[in-house]
Amino acid sequence: MIYRSFGTTNIKLSQIGFGAMRFPLTEEYDPTKIDEVKATEMLHYAIDNGVNYIDNAYPYHRQTSEIFLGKALRDGYRERVYLATKMPVWLVKSKDDSIKYFEEQLLRLQTDVIDMYLLHSLSKNAWKTVQECNVLGCLDEMLNAGKIRYAGFSFHDELPLFKEIVDAYPWTFCLIQLNYVDIDYQAGLEGLEYAHKKGLAVMVMEPLRGGKLANNVPKRVLEIIGGSRWKQTPAQFALRWVLNRPEITCVLSGMSTLAQVKENIAFASGEHIDTLTADELQLYAQAREFYRSRTKVNCTQCGYCMPCPQKIPIPFILEIYNDARMYGAIDDSRWMYKVFVKPEHRADRCTACGECEEKCPQKIPVAKFMAEADSLLRQSGDDA
């Protein structure tokens, strides 16, 4: 494992960190049913093989991820990692609330201190809450009391707000979405460079776009990857691009199988900073262009939108809606819609209540796409 400096501190973090948002499940569509045996094996393998940063958050796996992690890090594993989790800013109504959620997280994680604590998913509205409820005052108090060691934030909004937030508080680090497709989206590459110049450690999430750059990769993209001097999987092609950047401290990987953990850790045992040539960067530009031309909805299947009050499986519907265009396979998507989505949970049951749009880090106009998806995917003869 290669380690990189955590900003201006003396801490070194593994260049790949473990994201606790996509553990394997015992029941396919129920994120609360973490397969604890498999997930524990994956975590222990990662830590035993050099991963020393684990990223969690209050809502992951519908609030069960922190509880699971508290158990999985017993027997000495807690002491071997830097533990990160995030405050659910959207639930906070007062400074007392922020303290209440933090104390609850300590209990869930079975620890007295959070090494790296983030304000979760900052956007225009969340930033307003942070200011109105003096959440930064709460961070100061917890830092002074030694209950958190380093303060940071994760971000999902436009670049100017990102810069404003970077400059508003003495953060040690931030977490941004970055992959070879999303280079000028949200904070993007300009945000990466900005935060790095200001001395923040920059962590990266969604390096594989939630798995979209690794699984079921379109034939054209496989051809482009084949033009590289390395023999590599699509996941390695995508990880190589982020790990090439010297400004990044740690790339968070969400892994759902032990095989993925093994592959990604083996890949992270190599040095990747500044290893891509101009010709190779050109391959990424070609693949980016292809994805951009075929992507209808910018969903990364993070699941933040769920649960839907109408029980509509929003990420799944957006996925098959996108796939219809990506692979030109509309019949496959129609078949999946018919077979896997019960009539009472189909996209036409959306009431446009807006709950999901509030929570979506990508700001997707879900109601609009639910209507479009239903009209594309429903076949004549399907139940009304």
Ligand X SMILES: NC(=O)c1ccc[n+]([C@@H]2O[C@H](COP(=O)([O-])OP(=O)(O)OC[C@H]3O[C@@H](n4cnc5c(N)ncnc54)[C@H](OP(=O)(O)O)[C@@H]3O)[C@@H](O)[C@H]2O)c1
Which residue lies nearer to ligand X by CB, 310 or 362?
A: 362
Task: Establish whether the linkage from the previous residue to 307 is cis, with ω within 30° of 0.
Answer: yes
Which residue lies nearer to ligand X by CB, 3 or 90?
A: 90
Residue 255 binding ligand X, by CB under 6 A? yes
Contact (Cβ atoms closer than 8 angstroms) between residue 89 and residue 135: yes
Residues 119-148 that bind ligand X (CB under 6 A): 120-121
Contact (Cβ atoms closer than 8 angstroms) between residue 7 and residue 200: yes
Residue 202 CB, nearest distance to ligand X (Å)? 13
CA distances from 348 to 82, 358, 368 (A): 44, 19, 10
Contact (Cβ atoms closer than 8 angstroms) between residue 203 and residue 242: no
CA 303/CA 346 separation, integer angstroms: 17
Range in contact with ligand X (rule: CB under 6 A) among 68-76, 164-172, 203-211, 325-333: 203-211
Q: Which of 66, 97, 115, 206 binds ligand X (CB under 6 A)?
A: 206
Which residue lies nearer to ligand X by CB, 78 or 209?
A: 209
> What does the chain come to in residues?
384
Compute the Cα dihedral for 321, 376, 304, 128 and give only its sign: positive
Residue 154 binding ligand X, by CB under 6 A? yes
Which two three-digit tokens encode residue 87?
Answer: 């405050």
Residue 322 CB, nearest distance to ligand X (Å)? 14
Residue 210 binding ligand X, by CB under 6 A? yes
Q: How many residues bind ligand X (CB under 6 A)?
A: 31
Residue 89 binding ligand X, by CB under 6 A? no
Q: Which of 5, 131, 215, 351 binds ligand X (CB under 6 A)?
A: 215
Q: Which of 59, 211, 313, 315 binds ligand X (CB under 6 A)?
A: 211
Which residue lies nearer to ligand X by CB, 19 or 313?
A: 19
Q: Give the per-residue contact string, 327-366, with ligand X (x = CB under 6 A; - = no).
A: ----------------------------------x-----
Residue 196 binding ligand X, by CB under 6 A? no
Contact (Cβ atoms closer than 8 angstroms) between residue 377 and residue 337: yes
Residue ranges of E strands in the chain: 3-5, 12-14, 16-19, 53-55, 82-87, 114-122, 148-155, 173-177, 201-205, 248-254
Residue 34 binding ligand X, by CB under 6 A? no
Residues 158-187 that bind ligand X (CB under 6 A): 175
Burial degree of 330 (CB within 10 A; 0-12, 13-18, 19+): middle
Q: Which of 55, 66, 115, 323 binds ligand X (CB under 6 A)?
A: 55
Residue 97 binding ligand X, by CB under 6 A? no
Which residue lies nearer to ligand X by CB, 55 or 374?
A: 55
Phi, psi of 212 (to 5 degrees): -65, -25
CA 36/CA 55 separation, integer angstroms: 17
Judged by the rule CB under 6 A, the positions of this chain that interact with ligand X are 19-22, 55, 120-121, 154, 156, 175, 205-211, 214-215, 235, 252-256, 260, 263-264, 300, 302, 361
